[in-house]
Amino acid sequence: MPAQDRNPTNRPGPKEGLTGTRLGRSVLPYAMLSPAVIVTLAIVFLPMLQTAWMSLHDYVLFRPNDFTFVGLDNFIAALQDEVFWISLKHTVIWIGVTIPAQLLLGLVTALLLNQNFPWRPVARALIIIPWALPSVVIALMWVWIYDSNYGVMNDFMLRLGLIEQAMPWLANPKTALGAIILTLTWQGFPFFAVMILAGLQSIPRSYYEAASIDGASTWRQFWHITLPGISGVLVTSVLLRTIWVANSFDVIFVMTGGGPGYSTYTLPLYAFVKARTNLDFGYGSALAVLFTILLMGVVMVYLRRTGKAVQ
């Protein structure tokens, strides 16, 4: 007679049940996570590995059968490439100016939106518009704003007497990158505003009441209550936005295509142009890998330093 037949309820014994539950508990999370993990592996990690593999090869798409292993040649070539260094310099300026500008503007906006005033919900809804618009729409809109013949920017500045001649903002290498940074600052500050506003609303009002009773000035309240209260949100938002801004080139691509010359080239854009327009996927991948390593370095340093500061 089989063992289970002796157990009329067909339940496992106490020891057996415990093992089963334990096994279930240890396997279940993996089973539940595996679809997401498999999809992530397939659409994120596999292309990443493929990019790293391609970066070690001489691979130009219009010679599809020629896939020669060249080791680190593409990386060495990149480090000796003038355009790589120009693009890296622009990427540093791009991140270094855009993120603080967005953060500052977002912080001021959030502090204003946190005050009580009529139509506050409408103002909160309106502020999100730049963030909600597609990048391409924003880029085209700002191309018209900057237009040297018909743009409102020139018209406005000429009327105010700030400039004497209409400026080709996007066609002048001295102003093109700055003009695009201003566009991206306008697009991205609502993200900071919304995140910081959420952080501000989680700070109990009683802290401020206690501080005012103790005679703390508005500035000291901001420094000792508001800033520590939103520091967690700030760290996360800056990190996320740094990664997004660093990788984004759609606005640049639409507004100038990297021009004039190389004056608005950033590393992701250079990698894109090399791979997609010149079809040089080996070199383009090497640029992308180099940029990823650099960005990872920045993110790790940032996390270490801010982690300590927040603690």
Partner 1 sequence: MTIYKTLGLACSALAFSAAIASADSTVRFWYHFDNADNPMDELVANFEAANPGITVEAENIPWNSYYDNLYTAVIGGNAPDAAMVKMFAQPRLIGMGALEPIGERIDAWDGKADLLDNLLDLTKAEDGKSYYLPVQYVVLYLYYRPDMFAELGLDVPATCEDFRNVAQQLTRDTDGDGQTDIYGFGFRGGKGGHDHWGSFTLGREGVNLVGGMENDSAAEGTQFVVDLFQEDKVFPPSAPNDGFQETIGGFKAGKTAMTIHHIGSANGMVEALGDNVDAAPVPSCGGGQWTAYGDESTAVLSSAEDKDAAWKWISFLSESGNNAKFNEATGQLPVTKSDSDGWTLHPKRFVDATVNSLPFAHLLPNTPETSDFVNTVWPVSMQRALTGDITAEEMNAEIAKLFGN
**186 Cβ contact partners less than 8 Å away, ≥ 6 residues apart:** 130, 138, 142
Q: How far is the CB of 246 from partner 1 (least distance, A)?
A: 23
Using the rule CB under 8 A, is 9 a contact of partner 1?
no
Using the rule CB under 8 A, is 256 a contact of partner 1?
yes
Near partner 1 by CB under 8 A, which window of 182-190, 191-199, 239-247, 258-266? 258-266
CB nearer to partner 1: give 148 or 247. Answer: 148
Q: How far is the CB of 247 from partner 1 (least distance, A)?
A: 19
Instruction: Give the 3-state secondary structure of residue 3.
Output: helix
CB nearer to partner 1: give 17 or 261. Answer: 261
Near partner 1 by CB under 8 A, which window of 95-103, 105-113, 183-191, 254-262? 254-262
Using the rule CB under 8 A, is 262 a contact of partner 1?
yes
CA distance 113 to 107: 10
For 57, phi then psi, to 5°, come to: -125, 155
CB nearer to partner 1: give 164 or 214. Answer: 164
Q: Which parts of the chain fold into alpha helices (H)?
A: 3-6, 14-40, 46-54, 73-79, 82-113, 120-127, 129-132, 135-146, 152-160, 176-201, 205-213, 218-221, 227-247, 250-255, 267-272, 281-310
- Cα separation values, 142 from 161, 187, 189, Å: 21, 11, 16
CB nearer to partner 1: give 64 or 134. Answer: 64
CB nearer to partner 1: give 60 or 108. Answer: 60
Using the rule CB under 8 A, is 62 a contact of partner 1?
yes
**243 Cβ contact partners less than 8 Å away, ≥ 6 residues apart:** 295, 299
Among the listed residues 22, 224, 276, 304, the single contact to partner 1 using CB under 8 A: 276
Q: How far is the CB of 109 from partner 1 (least distance, A)?
A: 32
Q: How far is the CB of 54 from partner 1 (least distance, A)?
A: 12
Q: How far is the CB of 236 from partner 1 (least distance, A)?
A: 35
Using the rule CB under 8 A, is 260 a contact of partner 1?
yes
Partners of 149 in the beta sheet?
A: none
Tracing tokens 């219009």 back to the chain, one arrives at 62
> Could you say which DSSP state residue 67 is in?
E
* Contact between residue 292 and residue 86 where contact means Cβ atoms under 8 Å apart: no
Q: How far is the CB of 61 from partner 1 (least distance, A)?
A: 5
Residues 140-199 that bind partner 1 (CB under 8 A): 147-149, 158, 164-168, 170-173
Q: What element of type H or E holds 69?
A: strand 67-69
Using the rule CB under 8 A, is 61 a contact of partner 1?
yes
CA distance 92 to 294: 11
Q: How far is the CB of 94 from partner 1 (least distance, A)?
A: 18
Partners of 69 in the beta sheet?
A: 57
Counting residues that bind partner 1 (by CB under 8 A) gives 30
Using the rule CB under 8 A, is 12 a contact of partner 1?
no
The residue ranges that bind partner 1 (CB under 8 A) are: 61-64, 147-149, 158, 164-168, 170-173, 256-263, 273, 276-279
